[in-house]
Amino acid sequence: MSSSTDSAVRLIAWIQGDVQGVGFRWWTRARALELGLVGQARNLRDGRVAVTAEGDRGACGQLLDLLRGPDTPGRVTAVAEQWGEPAGAFEGFTEA
């Protein structure tokens, strides 16, 4: 991701539901890489998954739509989001 891109953003999404132990982080990583995003998907102690993605605003929006869509592994009951400036701290997209 180029930090000089005007449309570059950071998306943090918290996904609630039955999303741990069902391949959700792997699925998210695959979708993010297809969209050219960098970041990570990680399990939280409270059962949610936190997704941080950086890249083009449109691609981050597409990822958010996918996270809310019907084709995710497990069962998503809610998605909260926060948008900000990219930090440039990621290389690739990882499962943490």
Global pTM? Answer: 0.92
Per-residue tokens: 17: 């539901």
Catalytic residues: 25, 43
Residues 5-24 have a mean pLDDT of 93
**Distance from C-alpha of 77 to C-alpha of 53, rounded to nearest angstrom:** 20
- pLDDT at position 1 is 43
Per-residue pLDDT tens for 21-65? 999 999 999 999 999 999 999 999 999 999 999 999 999 999 999
Per-residue pLDDT tens for 54-69? 999 999 999 999 999 9
Phi and psi at 39, nearest 5°, equal: 150, -150
Q: How confident is the model at residue 4 (pLDDT cuts 50, 70, 90)?
A: very low
